[in-house]
Amino acid sequence: MQKITMNLFLVVSFAVALWLPGLPLAHAATGNVAQQVDPKPPCPNGIGAGSAFDGTNLWYSCSANSTDLYRVRTDGVVTDSYRIDGGLGALVYDRERNGIWASWGGGAAGNGAVWFISLNVDKHIVKAALVGRVSEGLVCDLNDGLAYDARTSSLFFSHACSRTIHRYTIAPGSPPALGAHMHDIFPESHRYSLQWSDRREK
C-alpha cells in the first residue's frame, strides 16, 4: 500500500475566522507559507486528521490508526508517539489547562467521542481521558474541525460530512469535561477545519 506523506504548513496568517453574533468580525487575510514540515513517519493509512501547537511542539493525529497521536519538533522530527483511541480527529491545544482536546476519528470509543489529553511541564502526555460526547448531527466517523475559545471556555466542533458547527461549554474539573451543547452555527459555505481568532477590529 502506498504511503501518503502528511505535510504540516506553518502559515504566517490564517485565512479562516469564526464569527459569532455579538463579537467583532475578524477579517481573514491570505497568509504566506513560512515553513513546510514533513514529519516521519506519516500516518500509515495516509490520513492526517488534525494538528495543534503547544508553544514548543507540533502535534498531529491520525484517523483509524493504532498509533494515532504524534509529537513533532518544528523541524519535522518525531519525538514521541502514542495510542489514545486507535484513531483521532481534529486537535486543539488548551493553554489554560495545558492539555490537548482531541475529537473522534474512527477510534474504539466511537463517533462523538471527545478526549482531554493532559501534558506536564515538559509537554509529555501524563493522562488521556474520555471526557464527553458530541451528540448533535453525527453522520461521520471523523471530526475534522475543532476550535477552542478561552474567553468563553467553549469548544466548536465541525465534522467531515456536515456544514454545521456545534458549540459546547467546558465543564470545570480535573480533567475538564465536555459540557452542555449551547447552539449551532450554519455557515453558507462548506468548511474543512476551524481556527479561533482573538483578533479584534480597532
169 beta partners: 154
Is position 148 within any domain? yes
Q: What pLDDT is stored for residue 137 in this prediction?
A: 72
Q: Tell me the average pLDDT across 20-34.
A: 51
In a domain, residue 191? The reply is no
DSSP single-letter state for residue 77: B
Checking if the pLDDT of 31 tops 50, the result is yes
pLDDT confidence bin for 23, thresholds 50/70/90: very low
**Number of folded domains that form the chain:** 1
Q: The whole model's pTM is what?
A: 0.78
CB contact burial 16-40 (16+ within 10 A = b; e otherwise):
eebeeeeeeebeeeeeeeeeebebe
CA 85/CA 71 separation, integer angstroms: 16
In a domain, 2, yes or no: no
Residue with the larger pLDDT of the pair 189 and 61: 61
Cell of 137: 448531527
Question: How far apart, in whole angstroms, are the C-alpha atoms of residue 42 and residue 127?
Answer: 24
Given CA atoms 184, 190, 192, 198 in this order, what sign does their dihedral have?
A: negative
User: Distance (Å, rounded) from C-alpha 62 to C-alpha 72?
Assistant: 13
pLDDT at 178: 97
- How confident is the model over 99-123, as a mean pLDDT? 97
The single-letter DSSP state of residue 144 is E
pLDDT tens-place string over residues 40-71: 567 877 688 999 999 999 999 999 999 999 99
**Grid-cell match 471526557, residue found:** 131
Q: Please report, for the domain that includes residue 52, its CATH number.
A: 2.110.10
The percent helix, strand, coil of the chain (3-state, each to 5) is 0, 45, 55
In which domain, by residue range, is 78 found?
A: 8-185
Helix (H, G, I), strand (E, B), or coil: what is residue 106? coil
Residue position matching grid coordinates 523541524 = 75
CA angle 81, 55, 77 (to 5 degrees): 40
